[in-house]
């Protein structure tokens, strides 16, 4: 990472680069942890707050609502490019804290006793008032979290561009997988504690809010380092003040390489994150294990992905073949979903579930390490923030619609919470939730993602974008 005549800067010091990586990674870890803290508690939400699967899916998808329908992510990228990294870190931190606070309040007993809750509980949107309030907070948090992901990616390009970029991005993504692993069982554990006796279901959101305060503090330490680097760089690099022009968006949307990359990202992650919202509940019903045990079993998925992702990142830096890894990863994702769709009972089912989890972990590690470092090869540095945010915006259509669609499928093929409650009160056996139709939809999504990656690789060979080549210092082709 040479600096030429300008001399050595802070980012040429290994300790500084990796400290930046650690600071950004801990913020993203906490973001991913908070996003899924309530996912293992789907059954609890059904019993205590009478959320049906559509309500739970709508709540889960609300984290992407403003990003999609208000176009927040598109403007977020322009804001990041205009304000720079440090101003954007402050904005995202405040948004995430505000959203987390609203979500926590919406789950408390105190909120349920207010007139505002009674008004929200009306029929203008067919969801309980608690779900509406929690979804509002989740939407604000999700917008801040998505903008933070743009900031983190652009920061890594700034600090690691021309060097260990793929490795750095892979390590940052690995820490987010640790957040996912913790969420698989942490929500259940925090719920079991006696922190708020009158409203235990709000405890995970409260703990998550406290962790976000820690993440915000780490973000400010990053800002101090970044300010020092900008002083050293002077006017030699421009990472702030890019014009907020519509032509930036239209230029990106006119790039075939950009559109195909966004298509693949949307399809692949639509088979990952919406699935994770329901995974613990799915395995709980199919295997007959407790949410805590299933949470520990499913946590193998992100933990193995976290371990493997840096190795695939190193491989991409040294050998290339990023699009090939995307194709193979999509096929592995599809295979894992296929196993879950036909999971039998008993020890055989548990063994196959572990196999499915490992296949999906390998898939996530492979694709995560390979796809994001490809973006700087097709987008100029001045437009990185806008490019990443535009990809995230397109992706968020799938991340929002996926949980809602799965929730509707589950409600259409299973009993409602009120019907389950009636059976329990009558002392009759409640059948387990049937997840097979929903899992077959995820199988189809994995197949489409593989097709999109193959299409992208074919076009790469045709037009010579260099996306299969190993990592080089030349960015923004």
- The Cα 69–Cα 54 span in angstroms is 19
Q: Map the chain to HEC letters.
A: CCCHHHCCCHHHCHHHHHHHHHHHHHHHHHHHHHHCCCHHHHHHHHHHCCCCHHHHHHHHHHHHHHHHHCCHHHHHHHHHHHHCHHHHHHHHHHHHHHHHHHHHHHHCHHHHCCHHHHHHCCCCCCCCHHHHHHHHHHHHHHHHHHHHHHHHHHHHHHHHCCCCHHHHHHHHHHHHHHHHHHHHHHHHHHHHCCCCCCCHHHHHHHHHHHHHHHHHHHHHHHHHHHHHHHHHHCCCCCCCCCCCCHHHHHHHHCCHHHHHHHHHHHHHHHCCHHHHHHHHHHHHHHHCCCHHHHHHHHCHHHHHHHHHHHHHHHHHHHCCCHHHHHHHHHHHHHHHHHHHHCCCCHHHHHHHHHHHHHHHHHHHHHHHHHHHHHHHHCCCHHHHHHHHHHHHHHHHHHHHHHHHHHHHHHHHHCCCHHHHHHHHHCCCCCCCCCCHHHHHHHHHHHHHHHHHHHHHHHHHHHHCCCCCCCCCCCCCC
- pLDDT tens-digit profile, the chain (477 residues): 544 445 678 888 888 888 999 999 999 999 999 998 998 898 889 888 888 888 999 999 898 888 888 878 777 777 887 788 888 999 999 999 999 999 999 999 989 889 888 888 876 667 889 999 999 999 999 999 989 988 998 888 888 876 677 778 878 888 888 888 888 888 889 998 888 877 889 999 999 999 999 999 999 999 999 999 888 877 544 455 455 566 767 777 778 888 888 999 999 999 998 998 888 888 988 888 888 888 888 888 888 988 888 888 888 877 778 888 999 999 999 999 999 999 888 889 999 999 999 999 999 989 988 887 777 777 776 677 678 778 888 888 988 888 889 989 998 888 877 787 788 778 788 787 888 999 999 999 999 999 999 998 888 888 777 777 766 544 443
Going by C-alpha positions, the residue among 38, 64, 37, 125 that lies closest to residue 401 is: 64
Q: Is residue 207 part of a domain?
A: yes
Q: Is residue 78 part of a domain?
A: yes
The Cα-based distances of 33 to 76, 176, 178, 189 in angstroms read 22, 8, 8, 13
Residue 462's CB is within 10 A of a number of other CB atoms, namely 9
User: For the purposes of burial, counting CB atoms within 10 Å of the CB of 42, is it exposed (0-12), middle (13-18) or buried (19 or more)?
Assistant: buried
Q: Is residue 475 part of a domain?
A: no
Q: Give the sign of the dihedral formed by CA 447, CA 448, CA 453, CA 457.
A: positive
CB 39 within 8 A of CB 190: no
Q: Is residue 472 part of a domain?
A: no
CB 402 within 8 A of CB 307: no
The residue to which tokens 């402050």 are assigned: 90
Tokens of 357: 């989890």
Q: Is residue 449 part of a domain?
A: yes
Domain range holding 244? 11-460
- The Cα 180–Cα 175 span in angstroms is 9
- The Cα 124–Cα 267 span in angstroms is 32
CB 399 within 8 A of CB 270: yes
CB 201 within 8 A of CB 45: yes
Residue 421's CB is within 10 A of a number of other CB atoms, namely 15
Q: Is residue 405 part of a domain?
A: yes
Number of domains in the chain: 1
Tokens of 446: 């994995």
Q: Is residue 278 part of a domain?
A: yes
Q: What is the CATH number of the domain that holds 355?
A: 1.20.1250.20
Percent of the chain with pLDDT over 70: 92
Q: Is residue 6 part of a domain?
A: no
| pLDDT tens readout for residues 25-65 | 999 999 999 998 998 898 889 888 888 888 999 999 898 88
- The Cα 369–Cα 389 span in angstroms is 18
Packing angle, helices 322-341 and 346-371, rounded to 10: 160
């Amino acid at each position: 990472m040479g600096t030429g005549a300008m001399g050595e800067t802070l980012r040429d010091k290994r300790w500084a680069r990796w400290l930046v990586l650690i600071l950004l990674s801990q913020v993203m870890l906490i973001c991913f942890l908070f996003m899924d803290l309530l996912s293992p508690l789907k059954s609890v939400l059904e019993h205590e707050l009478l959320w049906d699967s559509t309500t739970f899916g709508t709540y889960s998808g609300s984290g992407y609502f403003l990003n999609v329908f208000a176009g927040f992510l598109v403007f977020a990228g322009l804001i990041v490019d205009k304000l720079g990294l440090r101003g954007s870190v402050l904005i995202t931190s405040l948004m995430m804290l505000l959203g987390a606070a609203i979500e926590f309040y919406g789950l408390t007993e105190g909120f349920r006793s207010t007139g505002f809750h009674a008004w929200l509980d009306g029929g203008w949107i067919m969801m309980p008032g608690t779900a509406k309030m929690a979804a509002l907070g989740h939407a604000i948090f999700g917008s801040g979290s998505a903008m933070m992901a743009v900031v983190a990616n652009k920061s890594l390009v700034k600090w690691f561009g021309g060097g260990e970029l793929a490795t750095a991005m892979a390590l940052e993504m690995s820490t987010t997988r640790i957040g996912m692993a913790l969420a698989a069982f942490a929500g259940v554990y925090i719920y079991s504690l006696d922190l708020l006796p009158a409203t235990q279901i709000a405890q995970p959101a409260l703990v998550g809010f406290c962790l976000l305060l820690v993440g915000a503090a780490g973000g400010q330490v990053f800002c101090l380092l970044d300010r020092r680097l900008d002083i050293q760089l002077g006017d030699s690099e421009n990472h702030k003040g890019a014009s907020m022009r519509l032509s930036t968006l239209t230029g990106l949307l006119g790039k075939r390489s950009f559109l195909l990359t966004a298509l693949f990202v949307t399809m692949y992650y639509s088979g990952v994150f919406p699935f994770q919202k329901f995974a613990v509940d799915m395995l709980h019903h199919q295997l007959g294990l407790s949410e805590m045990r299933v949470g520990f079993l499913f946590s193998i998925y992100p933990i193995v992905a976290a371990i493997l992702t840096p190795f695939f990142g190193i491989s991409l830096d040294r050998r290339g073949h990023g699009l090939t890894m995307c194709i193979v990863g999509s096929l592995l994702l599809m295979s894992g979903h296929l196993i879950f769709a036909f999971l039998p009972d008993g020890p055989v089912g548990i063994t196959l579930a572990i196999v499915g989890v490992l296949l999906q972990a390998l898939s996530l590690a492979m694709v995560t390490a390979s796809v994001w470092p490809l973006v700087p090869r097709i987008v100029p540095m001045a437009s990185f923030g806008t490019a990443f945010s535009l990809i995230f915006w397109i992706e968020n259509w799938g991340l929002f619609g996926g949980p809602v669609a799965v929730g509707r499928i589950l409600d259409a093929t299973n009993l409602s919470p009120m019907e389950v409650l009636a059976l329990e009160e009558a002392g009759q056996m409640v059948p387990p939730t049937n997840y097979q139709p929903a899992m077959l939809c995820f199988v189809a999504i994995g197949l489409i993602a593989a097709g999109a990656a193959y299409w992208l690789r074919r076009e790469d060979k045709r037009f010579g974008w260099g996306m299969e080549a190993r990592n080089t210092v030349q960015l923004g082709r």
